[in-house]
Amino acid sequence: MQGTVDGFSYGLVTPLVAYFMACLGGALGLRCTTRAMLVSHSWRSGWLALGSAAIGSGIWTMHFIAMMGFQVRETPVHYDRAMTFASLGVAIVMVGLGIFIVGYKGAGGTALFTGGTITGLGIATMHYLGMAGMRLNGELGYNTVTVGLSVVIAVVAATAALWAAGQVRGFLWSVGASLVMGLAVTGMHYTGMAALSVHLHGTAETTAGDSAAALLAPMMIGPLAFLCLAGVVVMFDPLMVMGRPEWTPVEHKPGVPAAAVPPHTARHRPPHPSGRGVRRHGSRTPQNR
C-alpha cells in the first residue's frame, strides 16, 4: 500500500522559513570564505572553519525546518536522534573540505571544480542521511533519475556559490550569491522529496524515535545560536580586528623602479670633503677651462 506523502502540511510557511535559514547560513559562510582570502595564512583557517560550520548548520537547519511540514497521512513519522545529528556532522565536514580547497587553492580551475563537487555532495549526503533517520511504519523508495537531478543541483549551486565567494567583490556580492545558493539548496531539498515514495506495511507497528516537534527545540537552540554568533563575528571587519592582509597589490609600470623613492622624500646629501663635483661661486669647472 502506497502512503500519501505531503511535504507542505503547513502551506508556504515551512518552505519560506527553510529558504531564509539556507540564505542565512550561506551568507555567513560565503562571507567568511571571502574574508579568508584577504587575511594572512595564520587567520585563514579560522575563517574557513567558521564558514564551513555556518553553511553546514544553515543547510541542516533548513532541511529539518522543511521536514516540519512533511507528513505521511497514514502513519506518524519519527526521527532517530543519532542519525539526525550525524547528518549535521557530515554536512560540516564535507562542506569544510570543499571550502578549504577553494580558500587555499583559489576559486578557479580544478580547485573550484573539486571544492564545488565535494561541497555539493556534502549537501546531498546531509539530505539523504537525514531522510534515512526517519522512522515510520513503511519503507522509503526513491526515483533514481530525480535523485540524480537533486545531486546535480546541489553540486552546481555549491560550485557557483564558491566561485562568487572567490571574486572578493564586497558584501552585496556575497549576499546575492547567498540568495542564489539558498534557492538552489532549498530547490535541491524539494527535488529530493519529490523523488520519495512510501510503501506502508500491512500491520500497524509502533516506531521508535522522536517526532519532528521534539527535535525542533535542540535544533533551534544549537545551530541557530551558532549562526547568530557567527553573524556577530562577521559584522566586524577582520582587516581591522584581526590584522591586515599578508600581501599588498603593487602597481608595476614600465620604466618606474619598484623601489623608487619619491622626489619630495629624498634628502640632500652633504658635500664630499674633497669638494669634488661641487661647483662653488666664482670657480670654473674643468670643462670651462
Q: How far, in Å, CA of 189 to CA of 202, rounded? A: 29
Dihedral over Cα of 162, 168, 169, 175: its sign: positive
The pLDDT-based confidence of 218 (bands split at 50, 70, 90) is low
Mark residue 280 as left, alpha or beta (left: phi above 0; alpha: psi -120 to 50; beta: remaining). beta
pTM reported for the whole predicted model: 0.74
**Angle at CA of residue 153, ends 152 and 159, nearest 5°:** 90
Residue 2 has pLDDT above 90, yes or no: no
34-91 pLDDT tens trace: 778 777 777 888 888 988 888 888 888 899 889 888 888 888 888 888 888 899 899 9
Give the contacts of 36 (CB within 8 A, at least 6 positions apart). 43, 44, 47, 48, 51, 103
Q: Average the pLDDT over each of 29-43, 106-120, 197-211, 267-281 and give the range with the smallest value.
A: 267-281
At 104, the amino acid letter reads Y
Q: By C-alpha distance, which of 170, 155, 157, 156 is closest to 37?
A: 170
Instruction: Give the per-residue pLDDT at 150.
Output: 94
Percentage of the residues of the chain whose pLDDT score is greater than 70? 71
Residue 20 has pLDDT above 80, yes or no: yes
